[in-house]
Amino acid sequence: MAEADLSFPLFHQQPRPGWQTVKDERLFANPHISVDRVEVLTPHRSQQPVPWLVVKRKAAVAIAPVTASGDFVMIPQERIPVAQECLEFPAGQIDCAVEDVTCQTVIDTALRELAEETGYALAPGGRLEPLGWFLPSQGFTDEHVYLFKAEPVGVVSQPSPDGNEHISPARLVSPGELRRRIAASEITTALTLALYARMAAKGSI
Amino acid sequence: MAEADLSFPLFHQQPRPGWQTVKDERLFANPHISVDRVEVLTPHRSQQPVPWLVVKRKAAVAIAPVTASGDFVMIPQERIPVAQECLEFPAGQIDCAVEDVTCQTVIDTALRELAEETGYALAPGGRLEPLGWFLPSQGFTDEHVYLFKAEPVGVVSQPSPDGNEHISPARLVSPGELRRRIAASEITTALTLALYARMAAKGSI
């Protein structure tokens, strides 16, 4: 696969000089999350550990798919925690421990979620462009989400989302419609806004 | 106060026809979060409740402060869950139950966090512009963050962050520098990217 050579910085491999966890007490855990009470030394607080509550979660990916005609592929998805259907870019969790994530597992997850949630895939010669990562709620959770633009994409299959998810058929959204819906606060998910911010800042939308 | 008349939609008051929680089992709780196993009927799944794990958290606000000369006011803040110092816009939690949040508590929190974290405040005649809300991680938590632009702001006091936080002195960041840092993936927090996305989509940056 053309993407096998793609490499990009990984969140968990960033140098963190001066950061040291001196205590980590697990208060709750299940297959989705853990809740830990940690005590941490930091660059600005190197003498007295800082106590904090951290909800730990797997890393994730989110993808902005663009068709050959320049439209974005978006999905309306029912989101239980916020009791809303959100129009958003496809995304999903990387199904391994954070410390085991590699560029290849990130890419594989991105391409799989794109196909499963939308039925689209990179066209021959298409490109997956890394757009860094973002931190959904950095005071609360270690969750981090890798961002990509996939261009061009085309329909290859029927979507096949996970059993517990409800995703309506993908919609094509022009750059102008995406901008209008963000300006009108109709698009609200961090992953979609983060992808838009990166693309807008790079001048590619 | 001039802002007393400001009104905007509230997340928890949105109509949610077809959404009904039929079971809510609390698995863990402390003053910061709760972890609930819920079963929910949704518009597309009205017969068989969907089981889901939801981490519940207070609502929050984030503010993009702009000086009279057009620079953004940003703060470097040590963020324990991600073991990094993040350059971000000021933000904070609304200190009441989600269902008790009003426009006034949102505004009060925004103005207080702006002052406490940066030492800046709205100048006389300044305007707090609501920019909707965003959802940090809609598959995982009910957290929602109200967004504002505050313009113009000026220095009024010394910052006084919470005891457990470490915030370095505020920095002035030009729109061009903000754009470059987002494009270079140096700015990573959802609240900052969400504010940038809304401002960019509205053509105000």
Same domain, residue pair A149 and A90: yes
| Predicted confidence (pLDDT) at residue B20 exceeds the cutoff of 90 | yes
B36 within a domain of the structure (yes/no): no
Q: Mean pLDDT over all residues of chain B? A: 96
The 3-state secondary structure of chain A, one letter per residue: CHHHHCCCCCHHHCCCCCCEEEEEEEEEECCCEEEEEEEEEECCEEEEEEEEEEEEECCEEEEEEEECCCCEEEEEEEEHHHCEEEEECCEEECCCCHHHCCHHHHHHHHHHHHHHHHCEEEEEEEEEEEEEEEECCCCCECCCEEEEEEEEEEECCCCCCCCCCCECCCEEECHHHHHHHHHCCCCCEHHHHHHHHHHHHCCCC
Q: What is the CATH number of the domain that holds B100?
A: 3.90.79.10
pLDDT value at position A171? 98
- Say if residues B128 and B5 touch (Cβ distance below 8 Å): no
pLDDT tops 50 at residue B1: no
Q: Are strands B60-67 and B145-155 parallel, antiparallel or unpaired?
A: parallel
Q: How many domains does chain A have?
A: 2
* CA–CA distance, A124 with A152 (Å, rounded to integer): 9
Cis peptide before A152 (omega within 30 of 0): yes
The answer as to whether A95 is a domain residue is yes
The per-residue pLDDT for A4 is 54
Residue B19 and residue B42: Cα distance in Å, rounded? 5
In a 13 Å sphere around the CA of B4, the CA atoms on its Cβ side amount to 2
Say how many Å lie between the first and final Cα of chain A, rounded.
27
A28: how many CB neighbours lie within 10 A of its CB?
Answer: 15
Cα A91 from Cα A75, distance rounded (Å): 10
- A2 found inside a domain: no
**Percent of chain B that is helix, strand, coil (3-state, to 5):** 25, 45, 30
pLDDT at B160: 87
Residues A45 and A71 in one domain: no
- Indicate whether B3 pLDDT > 60: no
Contacting residues of B for A43, CB less than 8 Å apart: 78, 85
- Any domain includes A146: yes
Name the residue range of residue A158's domain. 59-201
Select from B14, B144, B193 the Cβ nearest to the Cβ of A197.
B193
Nearest to A182 among B38, B53, B201 (CB): B201
Q: Is residue B37 part of a domain?
A: no
- Who has greater pLDDT, B201 or A1? B201
Residue scoring higher pLDDT (B161 or B135): B135
What is the chain A residue with the closest CA to B54?
A: A81
Query: Which residue of A28, A180, A182 is in closest CB contact with B198?
Result: A182
Identify the closest residue of chain B to A133 by CA–CA distance.
B188
CA dist list (Å): B52 to A117, B19, B196: 19, 14, 31
pLDDT in tens, B79-133: 999 999 999 999 999 999 999 999 999 999 999 999 999 999 999 999 999 999 9
pLDDT-based confidence at B48, cuts 50/70/90? very high
Q: Which of A33, A134, A142, A205 to mutate to test the interface with B (most CBs of B within 10 A)?
A: A134
Report, as an integer, the average pLDDT of B6-34: 97
The reply to whether A109 and A33 lie within a common domain is: no
Say if residue A140 is in the same domain as residue A101.
yes
Nearest CA to B165 among A51, A38, A55, A144? A51
d(CA B112, CA A123) in angstroms, rounded, equals: 50
pLDDT at B46 over 70: yes
Does residue A102 belong to any structural domain of this protein?
yes
- Name the pTM for this structure: 0.97
Q: Is the domain of A128 the same as that of A188?
A: yes
- If asked whether residues A112 and A89 sit together in one domain, one would say yes
Question: How far is Cα A192 from Cα A77, in angstroms, rounded to an integer?
Answer: 13
Give every CB contact of residue B136 below 8 A, 6+ residues apart in sequence.
Answer: A136, A137, A190, B143, B144, B145, B190, B191
Residue B28 lies in a domain: no
Taking alpha carbons only, the member of A66, A167, A81, A68 closest to residue A117 is A167
Nearest chain A alpha carbon to B37: A81
Q: How many CA atoms lie within 13 A of B154 on its CB side?
A: 7
**Coil, helix or strand for B147?**
strand
Measured on CA atoms in the order B24, B10, B134, A111, is the torsion positive or negative? positive
Q: What is the pLDDT of residues B134-157, one digit of tens each?
A: 999 999 999 999 999 999 999 998
Helices and strands (H, E) in chain B, number of each type: 3, 10
Cβ–Cβ below 8 Å for A134 and B16: no
Q: What is the per-residue pLDDT for B201? A: 98
* Binary contact (B190, A188; C-beta < 8 A): no
Q: Which amino acid is at A183?
A: A
At B16 the three-state DSSP class reads coil
B163, pLDDT greater than 60: yes
The answer on pLDDT for B162 being more than 90 is no
Task: Report residue B132 as tokens.
Answer: 């909707």
Burial-class residue A40 by CB neighbours within 10 Å (0-12, 13-18, 19+): buried
Residue B1 lies in a domain: no
- Residues of chain A with confidence (pLDDT) below 50: 1-2
Helix (H) or strand (E) holding B174, with range, is: none
